C-alpha cells in the first residue's frame, strides 16, 4: 500500500504520532532518562543514560554553533529536553512543534519559566524564520514521498546564514515501505531512510557540511531503556502481559538492528551554498 499511497499525510501523521507517543507518559517516564529524551544517547564519555542524553544535547548545540539570542526551531520536539538544554546553557530563544498532544502538554509543564514555545501542529503548517533548525528522531516519520517537501519546508524556515541538523536512524538500503511489525504495533507509517535518500532530498537546496555515525550508541541506549522499563513494569499495571511482550520485542529487535549494523544513527549538518566561512565539525 505504501508503494502507491502517501502514508504520512497531515491527518495520518497526527494519528500515527498519537498511536506511539500518546500511549502514556507514565511508561516513558519510567523507561527514559530524567529529561525524557526518546532518541539515541551519545556514549563517548558518558557513564550512564542521563549523562549520554545530556552529552547528546550538547553535541547538537555545539554542532549548531549556538549563540545567545539566536532563534532555534525543533521539528518534532518531543518532551522538550533538547530545547531546555539549549535555552539554559546557550541563551537561545526556542520553539518546538509536535503533533502529539500529550508530549506538548508535558513539555510545556517541564519547561515552565523558560523562553520556549511549544505548538501542537504538523511541520507542514508552520511558518517563520529561524537561525537554527533541528530535528531528532523525526525524519523516520516523514516518509519517502515527503522527504523533498520536508527539506523545501526547512528551506523556507531557515535563515540565509543558518545551520540545520537532523539526527535520525538510517538503513543500509533505500526503503519506501514500512516494516510490518513496526507499522502495526509501534510506529505506523514510519520508514527508515538511507543516507542516499536524505542527501537526494536535500539536493540543490543545502550543502551537506558533516555526517556523524554513532549507531552502536543506540544499541547501548536501547538496552538501558529495556533494563529501566523491565525493572518497573509492576508500577504500571495498566499495561498487560501482551503489551509487555510486544514492547520488549520492539526494544530488543531494534537493539539487534544496531548491533548488526543494519541500522545506524546519523547526524547530518546542512548549510546553504554561498557561505564562505568554513564549517568546523565537532564530536
Percentage of the chain beyond pLDDT 90 is: 83
Quote the pTM value.
0.92
Q: Is 39 exposed, middle or buried (0-12, 13-18, 19+ CB in 10 A)?
A: buried
Please check whether residue 247 is in contact with residue 24, taking contact to mean a CB–CB distance below 8 angstroms. no
CA 163 to chain centre: 17
**Phi and psi angles of residue 46, each rounded to the nearest 5 degrees, phi first:** -75, 145
Give the strand pairing for 207-213 and 71-75. unpaired
Residue 2 forms part of a structural domain: no
Q: Within a domain: residue 281?
A: no
- Residue (of 143, 251, 165, 148) closest to 211 by Cα position: 165
Query: Residue 4 — pLDDT band, cuts 50, 70, 90?
Result: low
In a domain, 5, yes or no: no
Q: What is the 3-state secondary structure (H, E, C) of 2-31?
A: CCCCCCCCHHHHHHHHHHHHCCCHHHHHHH
In a domain, 263, yes or no: yes
CA 158 to chain centroid, in Å, comes to 18
Considering the domain boundaries, does residue 243 fall inside one?
Answer: yes
pLDDT higher than threshold 50 for residue 216: yes
- pLDDT tens-place string over residues 9-52: 766 555 555 445 556 889 999 999 999 999 999 999 999 999 99
pLDDT in tens, 176-213: 776 777 667 676 778 999 999 999 999 999 999 999 99
CATH number of the domain bearing residue 105: 3.40.50.150
> Residue 174's pLDDT band (boundaries 50, 70, 90)?
confident
What is the average per-residue pLDDT within 85-112? 97
Indicate whether 40 belongs to any domain. yes
pLDDT at 19: 44
Among candidates 113, 53, 106, which has minimal Cα distance to 88? 113
pLDDT of 268 > 80? The answer is yes
What gap in Å lies between CA 21 and CA 28, rounded to an integer? 9
Alpha helices in the chain (DSSP H): 10-21, 25-31, 49-63, 81-90, 101-110, 147-157, 180-181, 195-201, 216-230, 241-259
Q: Are 59 and 282 in contact (CB under 8 A)?
A: yes
Structural domains counted in the chain: 1
Q: Which residue has the cell 554553533?
A: 65
Average pLDDT score over residue span 216-238: 98
Position 8 scores a pLDDT of 59
**Per-residue confidence at 242, pLDDT binned at 50, 70, 90?**
very high
What is the gyration radius of the CA atoms in the chain, in angstroms? 18
Summarised one tens digit per residue, pLDDT across range 111-150 is: 999 999 999 999 999 999 999 999 999 999 999 999 999 9
pLDDT of residue 12: 55
Q: What is the share, in percent, of the chain residues with pLDDT greater than 70?
A: 89
**Residue 222's pLDDT is what?**
99
**Model confidence pLDDT, tens digit, residues 154-172:** 999 999 999 999 999 999 9
Within a domain: residue 208? yes
Q: How far apart are CA 275 and CA 90, in angstroms?
A: 23
Residue 192 structural domain:
10-271
Q: Has residue 1 been placed in a domain?
A: no
Contacts of 263 (CB under 8 A, 6+ apart): 169, 170, 171, 192, 215, 218, 254, 257
Mean pLDDT of 263-269: 98
The CA distances from residue 169 to 31, 69, 100, in Å, are: 20, 30, 20
**In which residue are the cell numbers 549548531 written?**
64
pLDDT in tens, 48-80: 999 999 999 999 999 999 999 999 999 999 999
Amino acid at each position: 500500500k505504501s508503494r502507491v499511497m502517501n502514508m504520512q499525510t497531515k491527518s495520518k501523521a497526527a494519528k500515527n504520532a498519537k498511536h506511539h507517543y500518546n500511549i502514556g507518559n507514565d511508561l516513558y517516564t519510567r523507561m527514559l532518562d530524567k529529561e525524557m529524551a526518546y532518541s539515541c544517547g551519545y556514549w563517548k564519555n558518558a557513564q550512564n543514560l542521563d549523562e549520554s542524553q545530556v552529552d547528546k544535547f550538547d553535541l547538537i548545540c555545539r554542532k549548531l554553533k549556538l549563540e545567545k539570542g539566536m532563534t532555534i526551531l525543533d521539528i518534532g520536539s518531543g518532551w522538550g529536553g533538547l530545547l531546555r538544554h539549549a535555552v539554559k546553557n546557550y541563551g537561545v530563544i526556542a520553539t518546538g512543534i509536535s503533533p502529539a498532544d500529550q508530549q506538548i502538554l508535558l513539555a510545556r509543564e517541564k519547561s515552565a519559566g523558560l523562553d520556549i514555545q511549544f505548538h501542537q501542529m504538523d511541520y507542514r503548517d508552520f511558518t517563520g524564520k529561524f537561525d537554527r533548525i533541528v530535528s531528532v528522531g523525526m525524519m523516520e516519520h516523514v516518509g519517502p514521498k515527503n522527504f523533498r517537501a520536508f527539506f523545501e519546508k526547512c528551506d523556507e524556515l531557515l535563515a540565509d546564514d543558518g545551520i540545520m541538523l537532523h539526527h535520525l536512524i538510517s538503513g543500509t538500503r533505500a526503503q519506501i515501505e514500512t516494516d510490518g511489525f513496526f507499522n502495526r504495533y509501534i510506529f505506523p507509517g514510519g520508514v527508515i531512510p538511507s543516507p542516499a535518500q536524505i542527501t537526494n532530498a536535500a539536493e540543490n537546496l543545502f550543502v551537506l557540511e558533516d555526517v556523524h555515525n554513532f549507531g552502536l550508541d543506540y544499541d547501548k541506549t536501547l538496552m538501558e531503556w529495556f533494563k529501566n522499563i523491565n525493572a518497573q513494569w509492576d508500577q504500571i499495571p495498566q499495561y498487560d502481559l501482551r503489551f509487555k511482550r510486544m514492547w520488549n520485542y520492539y526494544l530488543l529487535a531494534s537493539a539487534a538492528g544496531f548491533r548488526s549494523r543494519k541500522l545506524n544513527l546519523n547526524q547530518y549538518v546542512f548549510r546553504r551554498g554561498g557561505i564562505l566561512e568554513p564549517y568546523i565539525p565537532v564530536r
